């Protein structure tokens, strides 16, 4: 989890559990992560995602074909943000899934 946390500049809370991870190296790396978040961290993580500078310059399905488990549609989304950095794109979504709090992160370097 440290790899995507460092790349995406998102603080993943203590007690979070990595459920799935996909890394596509080396040139213009892409990271996909599915992380279960402790309920006590919900508000802090919602605020952190909400602070990302929003951008709609990338399509929702950017690179999704590279990760079979990445959802085609997200339901029960609590907060989501697509953001562009100096040389990266980040898609962060906090959702309620089967009663659990799940963070989906997609980071694409370009």
Domain ranges, ordered by start, for the chain: 2-109
Task: State the pLDDT at residue 41.
Answer: 97
Q: What are phi and psi of 98, to 5 degrees?
A: 50, 40
Which residue is associated with the tokens 């992560």?
33
- Give buried/exposed letters for 30-49 (b at 16+ CB in 10 A, else e): bbbbbbebeeebbeebeebb
Residue-by-residue pLDDT tens, the chain, 110 positions: 888 888 888 999 999 999 999 999 888 899 999 999 999 999 999 999 998 888 877 777 788 899 999 999 999 999 999 998 888 999 999 999 999 999 999 999 88
């Amino acid at each position: 989890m440290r790899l995507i946390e460092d790349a995406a500049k998102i603080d993943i809370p203590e007690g979070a559990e990595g459920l799935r991870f996909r890394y596509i190296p080396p040139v213009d790396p892409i990271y996909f992560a599915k992380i279960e978040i402790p309920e006590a961290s919900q508000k802090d993580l919602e605020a952190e995602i909400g602070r990302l500078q929003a951008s709609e310059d990338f399509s929702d399905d950017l690179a999704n074909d590279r990760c079979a488990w990445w959802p085609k549609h997200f339901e029960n989304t609590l907060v989501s943000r697509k953001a562009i950095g100096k040389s990266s794109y980040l898609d962060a979504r906090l959702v309620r899934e089967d009663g659990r709090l799940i963070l989906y992160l997609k980071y694409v370097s370009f």
